[in-house]
Structure 1
Amino acid sequence: MMRLGIIGAGAVAGFHAQGIADIAGLTLTAVCDLNAETAGNVAQPWGASVYTDYQEMLTGGVVDAVVINTPHSLHKDMVVAAASHGVHVLVEKPMATTLEDAKIMEAACEAAGVVMVVGMIQHFMAEKLALMAALQSGVLGRVLMIHDYRSTDYRPGSRPDWFFDKAVSGGGAFINIGAHCLDRSLWIGGAPAVRITSSTLNRFGAPVETDGTMELRLANDVQLRITIVSDTPENIDEVLVVGERGTITADPRRGTFMKIDGVRTVLHTSSADDIQNAFTAQLADFHAAVRGAAPAVSGTHAKHVVELVLAAYESAQSGESVELTPALVR
């Protein structure tokens, strides 16, 4: 039985806790949060211990692995601490706020002989899996273009304060929401990016970017455009894929739909269980990785997402495209 702890009892901690309960061979033994009541709300249904100091939890000998679900800039120190105690890690995206931190995390885990997997939930969402199955069948031919359009809410007060503190979060909508968009679009596109051009907006008096666009060219010449907009009239979360013979859209609120030569096909209809099922599948993937399997998301891919977020910030500031050096991602 692998004993898991959760560090950070925020918005998705409940999904992690339920997923742990649903997988044979896993048990939730500890939940840590600076707020004991918040930690207790996640821990209580499963009889897990409550901590307010993650170091105390790691030294207590109560966990074999942890899920790190904390503000982005804290990931590095927490991963290094877990590794030093021989504890495996599933760390939420983005992996880190700098490439240097990401490399330190990888090196610490490798030296300690523990597994680190970066939580990229898009790879486990049913509507994205249906999209990928269609692409892999070859029915659309080669992917030519992707448009990823997602709404968010970056009005001050709409989310915890740390999201608006760049020293803690690493940035605004790009590093938070954009990391999801980059992750799934690179996966769908099938290659790393070699060029990125971006622009950002700072609305609502927010100290971090609230909106923006990214345009990327992938190494296989797929064109990718990502648009992130705050406070839209209706929530938007759609990936549109243009192939040689047709198009596919995927939306977690609706499903996955394909159209070829005027004929529309429903590939997946979304259900209320899809999000929980994705978190459970991600935990099962992590459990398998600890036992020696290759994880669904590689460390190389996770680092490339960080690299692209940082390059997007560079491009937005300079007004110029940023060419990506291939050494990191090949």
Structure 2
Amino acid sequence: MRLGIIGAGAVAGLHAHGADVLDGIELSAVCDLREDVAAAVAAPWGAAVFTDYQAMLAAGVVDAVVINTPHSLHRDMVLAAAAQGVHVLVEKPMATTLADCRLMEQACADAGVVMVVGMIQHFMAEKLALQAALATGQLGRVLMIHDYRSTDYRPGTRPDWFFDKEISGGGAFINIGAHCLDRCLWVGGAPAVQLGATTLRRFGAPVETDGAMELTLANGVQVRISIVSDTPDHIDEMLVVCELGTVTVDPRKGTFLEIDGTRSQLHATASHDIQDAFTAQLADFSAAVGGAAPSVSGDHATHVVELVLAAYRSAEDGTPVRLDEVHVASSPLG
């Protein structure tokens, strides 16, 4: 499978390295508006360099692409790839409206190509250790989840497009919150039926910098997500409360279990965990192209976008949103 990368920033190098170590995949092209940025990712692997993704798709040098670009660009890039018969791994969030999500899914289905949404949490070693512990039954049912993430949404700390709603779709919720929603739904084991949210705008930012969400899942699991900018220490922790014990998960430390006063470590963080996750995600995508079911379904990825939309609506209205009552298919995030 000849793989192209559209968007050479952030995690492009992790995708490129994954392609190098996996059998049956080669990095054949990298595209970025800045030729030097694309060349920096492409050079170690001898991949072609493009500054126009349409030209790359039309050149016939890729069978599949990773779309690693600002959120609102995902739709048009997926549609263009589908029109060329090219499979797609598109980074989260899938899109900025539910209408775009559905359009992307339909276009890929009509073209007979595979689209998978990159939800990296499903491949992180510390999260997999948590899921393995839950699968043994030793913890009983999941009852409650608290997910606490820090970030930095001070203007100037990240590229300008993150602060432009037309391009990003929002602030901390659609970016960091999408990760939190994804992993909480996965660990909680059901979609959400109700969501309430509040947001803050600090530092003079035009998008939300901080916020909190409270969710009830269809199976009764209670979820609270807190996202805070510019904290004294970086925080990325899930606390999972079960009938018979608790688990904490932190990619900087590992996975820890406590049952009846006895603590044990299920996973110790290693320096290669993040690269291993991106490699595993790419292998999962390749398997999906070959006919296997992907680890992350399109329905799940779309539901994450639906919840981000609902969170913005709840924060604006000041009331919880029932997911069976909200109709946001064509509503922009904001």
Query: Above 0.5 in TM-score?
Result: yes
Question: Helix, strand or coil: the match of 1:144?
Answer: strand
**Cα distance in 1, alignment partners of residues 221 and 14 from structure 2:** 34
- The CA distance in 2 between the partners of 1:325 and 1:106, in whole Å, is 22
- Give 1:11's aligned residue: 10
Q: Which residue of 2 aligns with 1:261?
A: 260
Aligned to 1:58: 57
Map of 2:101 onto structure 1: 102
Q: Which amino acid aligns with 2:217?
A: L
Query: CA–CA distance in 2 between the matches of 1:160 and 1:289?
Result: 32
Q: Counterpart amino acid of 1:287?
A: S
What is the CA-CA distance between 1:285 and the residue it aligns to?
0.1
2:221 match: 222
Q: Map residues 1-330 of structure 1 onto 2, 5 A cutoff.
A: 2-325=1-324
Aligned to 2:330: none
**CA distance in 2: counterparts of 1:159 and 1:136, whole angstroms:** 38
TM-score normalised according to structure 1 size: 0.98
Partners of 1:156 and 1:206 within 8 A in 2 = yes
CA RMSD of aligned residues (A): 1.0
Quickly say closer, same or farther: Cα 1:290–1:61, change in 2 above 3 A: same
1:74-125: CA deviations, max 9, x gaps? 0000000000000000000000000000000000000000000000000000
- What secondary structure is seen at the aligned counterpart in 1 of 2:263? strand
Report the Cα offset of residue 326 of structure 1: 8.6
Compared CA separation, residues 89 and 128, structure 1 to 2 (3 A)? same
Partner of residue 332, structure 2: none
The amino acid across from 1:124 in the alignment is: F
After superposition, the C-alpha distances for 1:204-238 in whole angstroms (9 at most, x for unaligned) are 00000000000000000000000000000000000
**CA deviation vs aligned residue, 1:113-151 (integer Å, no higher than 9, x gap):** 000000000000000000000011111101000000000
Give the AA of the match of 2:174: I
Provide the C-alpha distance between the structure 1 equivalents of 2:206 and 2:63, rounded to a whole number of angstroms.
Answer: 39
Q: Which runs of 5+ in 1 are unaligned?
A: none
CA contact under 8 A between 1:146 and 1:240: conserved in structure 2?
yes
**Whole-Å separation in 2 of the counterparts to 1:61 and 1:109:** 18
Distance in 2 of aligned mates of 1:44 and 1:150: 35
Distance (whole Å) between structure 2 residues aligned to residue 70 and residue 244 of structure 1: 41
Contact in 2 for aligned 1:194/1:326 (Cα 8 Å): no
| Partner amino acid, structure 2, of 1:121 | I
Deviations 1:297-320 (A, max 9, x none): 000000000000000000000000
How far is the alpha carbon of 1:64 from its aligned partner?
0.2
Give secondary structure in 2 for the equivalent of 1:66.
strand
Counterparts of 2:303 and 2:166 in 1: how far apart (Å)?
21
Whole-angstrom distance in 2 between the partners of 1:15 and 1:151: 22
Counterpart contact for 1:149–1:238, Cα < 8 Å: yes
Supply the distance in 2 between the matched residues of 1:211 and 1:22 (Cα, whole angstroms).
Answer: 38
Specify whether residues 326 and 301 from structure 1 end up closer, same or farther in structure 2 by C-alpha distance, changes over 3 A only.
Answer: farther
| Distance of aligned partners of 1:327 and 1:135 in 2 relative to their CA distance in 1, 3 Å threshold | farther
Letter in 2 for 1:325: D
Aligned-pair distance for 1:327? 11
What is the SS of the residue equivalent to 1:279?
Answer: helix
Question: Which residue type is aligned with residue 222 of structure 1?
Answer: V
Cα displacement (A) at 1:325:
1.7
- Specify the code of the residue in structure 1 equivalent to 2:322: E
What is the distance in 1 between the residues matched to 2:87 and 2:186? 25
d(CA) in 1 for partners of 2:286 and 2:164? 33
What percent identity do the matched residue pairs reach? 73
Q: Secondary structure at the match of 2:77?
A: helix
| Number of aligned residue pairs | 327
Letter in 1 for 2:133: A
The normalised TM-score by structure 2 is 0.97
Please give the alpha-carbon distance, in whole angstroms, between the structure 1 residues aligned to 2:315 and 2:107.
33
Within 2, Cα distance between the matches of 1:150 and 1:132?
20
Gaps of 5+ in 2: 328-334
Q: Distance in 2 between matches of 1:157 and 1:18?
A: 29
